[in-house]
Structure 1
Amino acid sequence: MNSEGITFEQAMAELEGIVKRLEKGELTLDESIGFFKRGVELTKYCNKKLDEAERSITMLIEGENGITEKELSV
């Protein structure tokens, strides 16, 4: 299943559900591996979205020399 096309929030909710299922320890080995792979995919997707958000959080400040960009620290 592809992570593209879902929101960050949907990916996080799915990832939380996967973690809960894995923590219960009631899955077969094959099921656990499948959920683990999906979890890795979702983690990469969420990290990518967070990186994109961090890069886009800039504040434009109009100063004497025109418009400059100042990065905001989170």
Structure 2
Amino acid sequence: MSADVQDMSFEDALRELEQVVGKLERGEVPLDESIALYERGALLKKLCEGKLKDAEEKVAKLTLDGDGKPTGTAPLDG
């Protein structure tokens, strides 16, 4: 993954991905640039999916006490 994409926050990557998709949908760029935008979009999508998966795993690990209050985390396979 491109270093500049890898260091982006989820929000920044999603914002740029939306811009890339918009440009491609409107067809406002030449073919060569469309291909480069598509490749960048694929990297941004991969980053967003990875960050979402990490967040889902963290949420899945939360443990609750008898009153439903968070008490910490537990392994996903536990």
TM-score, structure 2 normalization: 0.74
**Distance change (3 Å), C-alpha of 1:54 and 1:68:** closer
CA contact (8 A) 1:60 1:68 kept: yes
TM-score, structure 1 normalization: 0.77
Give the aligned partner of residue 17 of structure 1.
Answer: 19
Unpaired runs of 5+ residues, structure 2, are 67-71
Give the aligned partner of residue 31 of structure 2.
Answer: 29
State which of 49, 61, 66 in structure 1 corresponds to 2:64.
61
Give the aligned partner of residue 54 of structure 2.
Answer: 52
How many residue pairs get aligned? The number is 68
**% identical aligned pairs:** 40
Q: Which structure dedicates a bigger proportion of its chain to strand? A: 1
**Distance change (3 Å), C-alpha of 1:18 and 1:68:** closer
Letter in 2 for 1:22: L
Unpaired runs of 5+ residues, structure 1, are none
Q: Which structure dedicates a bigger proportion of its chain to helix? A: 2
Tell me the C-alpha RMSD between the 2 structures: 2.4
